[in-house]
Structure 1
Amino acid sequence: MNRYFATVARGLESIAAQEIEKLGGKEVRPDFTGVHFSGDKALLYKVNLWGRTIFRVLMPIKEFPCHNREQLYREVQKISWSEYLQPLNTLAVNCTGGNRQLNHTHFSALEVKNAIADQQRQQTGKRSSVDVQNPDLLINLHIYQNRATLSLDSSGDSLHRRGYRPAMGLAPLKETLAAALLTIAEYSPNLPFFDPLCGSGTLPLEACLKSLNIAPGLYRKRFGFQTWRDFDADLWQEILQQAQNSQLAELPAPIWGSDADKKVIQQAQINAEKCGLEAQISFSQKQLTEVEPIADSGIIICNPPYGKRIGDVAELGEFYKLLGDVFKQRFKGWTAYILTGNKELAKRVGLKASRRIPVYNGSLPCTFLKYELY
């Protein structure tokens, strides 16, 4: 059993913890922007492959007191790096956090790299090269107060980058947040799903992946653990095969999205094609005034602009009022959710929210509003 730490967006820790428990994680404990858990190598692979709300899965290899540069260097040198890395392998180091003496993440990461390279030169006369794009070993240093944790990053590129989305709208929702919103909204595959402001299609696509039981990691080209020295290729192939065999062929209920912008609908269609779901999801260019339900009941989730990044707040007030009117007049029997970062705009919807759930969109505090449409 190894200890692991999954990094997640602020506020999504409990959702990620539930995911990890369902995948078989032991000793699962949510923390600030992360989840501690234990498990074997198979679990590490599964969490990377199946995690819908997780950014990275780290494997801590050493925790130590870390007051300054000299102590950081000494502690890193105490690790036997030949267990994880040979001079012919490339490496990269990321750093988060800091303290009074170590207050520059790039400098701290450089110190870790120097300590590893110096050890390699002393032992073999050679050292690993740095490759910040696709290293064979990605190392994570986290400094909090006067303690440091050094981990191996098993994910490589952030897991929110599924690999299916080359085309993005102006202010795209992260796939991990979209997946979390579906969980918060208690979305079930037997419910029709609609996003009337779908942009490049993230919410409908994540709903489709969940509904068809498709592991989001299947669209990625590689994970960090695949270049680790102890990578078990046979075990990985077995886990991949299980994931592929568990997919459903058809949606239990329709999923569709619309948007007034023709270009972003084209982007959404490209993204659906990238993950082989173009025949499953329906995307169409429609003004909000033109949308109509295709079922008597279902779930709506949308992420309208809220003036922080796109759109003007004064003009958006009328748009939010129209959104509420369309919901009230045309979608009786449905449940609607709106993600917004502007409380004044939320009031313009003109409907009484049955729930107000605080979430973060990046660093922006938002509210996820639930409306029962009678």
Structure 2
Amino acid sequence: MNQYFATVARGLESSAARELERLGAREIRPDFAGVHFVGDRPLLYRVNLWARTLFRVLVPIREFPCANAKMLYREVQQIQWNEYLEPDNTLAVRCTGGNKTLNHTYYSALQVKNAIVDQQRQEWGKRSSVDAKNPDLQLNLHIHGDRAILSLDSSGHSLHRRGYRQAMGNAPLKETLAAAILDLAEYDATLPFFDPLCGVGTLPLEAGLKALNIAPGLFRDRFAFMTWRDFDAPLWENLVLEAKNSQRDALPAPIYGSDRDSEVIKLARVNAQNCGLANRIKLVQKEFYHIEPPSDRGIAICNPPYGERIGELRELGDFYKAIGDILKQRFTGWVAYILSGNKQLTKRIGLRTSARIPVYNGSLPCTLLKYELY
């Protein structure tokens, strides 16, 4: 069994912990912006393939004192790097955190790289080159106070980059945050789902992938662990086949998305096509003021503009009031969730919340507001 650390967006540690538990992880321990857990190699592959709320899955290889650059270099050189790569392999180092003397992440990452390639020159007479985009070995250094943890990055590109969302609009939600919102809202795929402000479709698409039990990692061509020396290709192929065979043929309940902008809806449809949902979910161009509930009950989730991102507070105040009025008048029997990043605008909704869940959209503190509409 190995120790792993999954990085997540701030505030979503509990959602990530629940997801890891469902995937079979053990000894789960949430931490700031991440979750520690224990598992075997199949679990490592499975988490990368199936995780909807995680950014990266790291495999710690050494924790050490790290008060300055000299100490960092020395500690990294004590690792036997020939166990992980040869000079004809490429590498990249990503650094997070810092302390008083190591306060520049690029410089800290450079010390790690120098320690590795200097060891290679001594042993082989040649060294690995750096490939920032698709290295054979990707390392993650995290410095906190006078200690550091150096890990293998098993994911490579962040797992929020599913691969299906090639068309982007203004201020889209990350796929991982959309998936976490569905978890926080206790989304039940047997109920109709509706996002009346869907933008490029991230929430409806993530709902569709979850409802059809489609592993988000199936849309990616590459994970970093595939170039590791101990990569087990047959194991990976079996997990992929298992994932494909577990997909559902049809949605248990319909999924809808709408937006006032016809061009944005076109982008959403492209994204739906990319992940095989074009004929499964309904995406239409419709002004919010004209929306109607597609059934007598269901769950509605939306992410209206906050003012800091799109538009101005003065223009948005009346819109937020309209959101509350329309939900109250037309969506009786539904449960609605609104992601809000502005308390002043939230007050204009005028409905009593039954839950207020703090989350972050990037660095912006937000609240996921729950409304039970009777």
Structure 1 residues 261-272: aligned runs within 5 Å: 261-272=261-272
Residue 347 of structure 1: how far off its partner (Å): 0.8
Alignment-mate amino acid for residue 316 of structure 1:
L
CA distance in 2, matches of 1:226, 1:203: 30
User: 1:16 corresponds to which residue?
Assistant: 16
Is 1:96 the counterpart of 2:96? The answer is yes
Once superposed, which parts of structure 1, at least 4 consecutive aligned residues long, lie more than 2 Å away? none
Whichever residue aligns with residue 33 of structure 1, its letter is A
Q: Which amino acid aligns with 2:56?
A: R
Aligned to 2:246: 246
Give the deviation of 1:290 after TM superposition. 1.4
The 3-state SS of whatever aligns with 2:278 is coil
Aligned counterparts of 1:46 and 1:109: Cα–Cα separation in 2: 29
Deviation at 1:350, TM superposition (A): 1.4
Distance 1:301 1:62 in 2: 42
Aligned pairs, how many? 374
Matching residue's letter, 2:111 = E
CA distance in 2, matches of 1:357, 1:21: 21
Q: Deviation at 1:311?
A: 1.2
Q: Which residue of 2 aligns with 1:210?
A: 210
Deviations along 1:300-349, whole A, 9 cap, x unmatched? Answer: 00000010111110110011111111111111100001001101101111
Q: TM-score, normalised by structure 2?
A: 0.99
Displacement of 1:364 in angstroms is 0.4
Counterpart of 2:215 in structure 1: which amino acid?
Answer: A
1:150 aligned residue: 150
Residue in structure 1 matched with residue 305 of structure 2 by the alignment: 305
Provide the C-alpha distance between the structure 1 equivalents of 2:158 and 2:107, rounded to a whole number of angstroms.
22
Partner of 2:224: 224
Distance between the aligned counterparts of 1:350 and 1:67, measured in 2?
53
SS in 2 for 1:173: coil
For the residues of structure 2 that align with 1:315 and 1:54, how far apart are their CA atoms?
35
| CA-CA distance at 1:117 after TM superposition | 0.3
Cα distance per residue 1:252-286 (max 9 Å; x no partner): 00001000011110000000000111000100000
Query: Aligned-pair distance for 1:112?
Result: 0.3
AA at the equivalent of 1:260: R
The AA in structure 2 aligned to 1:25 is: A
2:341 equivalent in structure 1: 341
- CA–CA distance in 1 between the matches of 2:312 and 2:195? 22
Listed as ranges, the matches of 1:287-326 within 5 Å are: 287-326=287-326
Q: CA deviation at 1:289?
A: 1.5
Other structure's SS at 1:54 match? coil
SS in 2 for 1:369: strand
SS for the counterpart of 1:114 is: helix
For 2:42 and 2:160, locate their aligned partners in 1 and report how far apart those are by CA, in whole Å.
Answer: 21
Alpha-carbon deviation of 1:100? 1.1
Deviation digits for residues 149-193 of structure 1, max 9, x if unmatched? Answer: 000000000000000000111000010010011011110110100
2-structure distance, mates of 1:313, 1:291: 23
1:171 aligned counterpart, secondary structure: coil
For structure 1, the residue ranges without an aligned partner over 5 or more in a row are none
Give distance in 1, aligned partners of 2:16 and 2:106.
Answer: 29
Q: Which amino acid aligns with 1:355?
A: A
Q: Secondary structure at the match of 2:55?
A: strand
- Equivalent in the alignment of 2:179: 179
Q: Write the mapping of 1:1-374 to structure 2, written as runs, cut at 5 A.
A: 1-374=1-374
- Superposed CA RMSD in Å reads 0.6
Q: Percent identity?
A: 70
CA distance in 2 between partners of 1:301 and 1:187 (Å):
10
- Distance in 2 (CA, whole Å) between partners of 1:243 and 1:290 is 39
Distance of 2:294 and 2:38 partners within structure 1: 45
**CA-to-aligned-CA distance 1:57-89 (integer Å, 9 cap, x gap):** 000000000111111111100101011111111
* Alpha-carbon distance between aligned partners in 1 of 2:113 and 2:230, rounded to the nearest angstrom: 21
Deviation at 1:226, TM superposition (A): 0.4
Q: Distance in 2 between matches of 1:17 and 1:369?
A: 22
Quote the offset at 1:222 in angstroms.
Answer: 0.5
| CA distance in structure 2 between the aligned counterparts of 1:169 and 1:322, rounded to whole angstroms | 23
CA distance in 2, matches of 1:204, 1:338: 14
**C-alpha separation between the residues in 2 aligned to 1:67 and 1:339?**
41
Deviation readout 1:12-42 (Å, 9 max, x if unpaired):
1011011111111111100000000011100
Q: Distance in 1 between matches of 2:229 and 2:86?
A: 9
Alignment-mate amino acid for residue 70 of structure 2: E
User: 1:338 is matched by which residue type in structure 2?
Assistant: I
Letter in 1 for 2:47: V
Distance 2:293 2:66 in 1: 58
